[in-house]
Structure 1
Amino acid sequence: MAQTIIKKPVISEKSISQGAVSKYTFWVDSGASKPVIADAVSKLFKVTVREVNIINQQGKLKQFKRIAAKRSNRKKAIVTLKAGDRIGLFEENKS
């Protein structure tokens, strides 16, 4: 069930730099709550979650030729881990 809650990590310059202070960002299921997200991250990555912040991102209006369409709404979770815990997905390669 944890794989259905956590959709994928947000890989951006900002999210990678936040990994240095044990904050990791994920796209999550739109119906997931903070305790469910914390439980899913701790089970998937074997880490201790200290805090979860949620951002609901509204879908943008886009126009394709003469047809106006709206992208889907998404939910982003910023997960803060206990000091010393790391998730390997977000480590920068310095080679």
Structure 2
Amino acid sequence: MSAQSKHYDVIRKPVITEKATMASENNAVVFEVHMDANKPQIKEAIEALFGVKVKAVNTSITKGKQKRFRGQLGRRNDVKKAYVTLEEGNTIDVTTGL
């Protein structure tokens, strides 16, 4: 496994919500990450994939809700999000894709 694919395993996808858009005004970007990923791994992956300097990484785990799917009880997956604050002058445009 190459180093590049290892980084893609850590970073799943960018989160594009109203809250994530407000965070981007403060030079932060939100990504959905692997549940086992820790902050140094996330920082290394972001710096390698996007070529930017990361100032800080904050993480949060959202527990999956119980929902009904076609009348059957089901459960959404737990999701880990990383709020990545970038150094001044660095930007990531998540709308273009990886």
Equivalent residue of 1:21, what SS?
coil
Equivalent residues, number: 91
Task: List structure 1 runs of 4+ shifted beyond 6 angstroms.
Answer: none
Question: Structure 2-normalised TM-score?
Answer: 0.85
Q: Structure 1 length normalisation: TM-score? A: 0.87
**CA-to-partner distance for each residue in 1:58-82, whole Å, 9 max, x for gaps?**
0000123442111111100000011
2:72 is aligned, of 46, 67, 83, to 67
2:61 is paired with a residue whose SS is strand
Aligned residue for 1:50?
A: 55
RMSD, aligned α-carbons: 1.5
Identity between Structure 1 and Structure 2 (%):
36
Question: Which residues of structure 1 form unaligned runs of 5+?
Answer: none
What SS does the corresponding residue of 2:25 show, helix, strand or coil?
helix
Q: Quick one: distance in 1 between partners of 2:70 and 2:91?
A: 45
- 1:5 corresponding residue in structure 2: 10
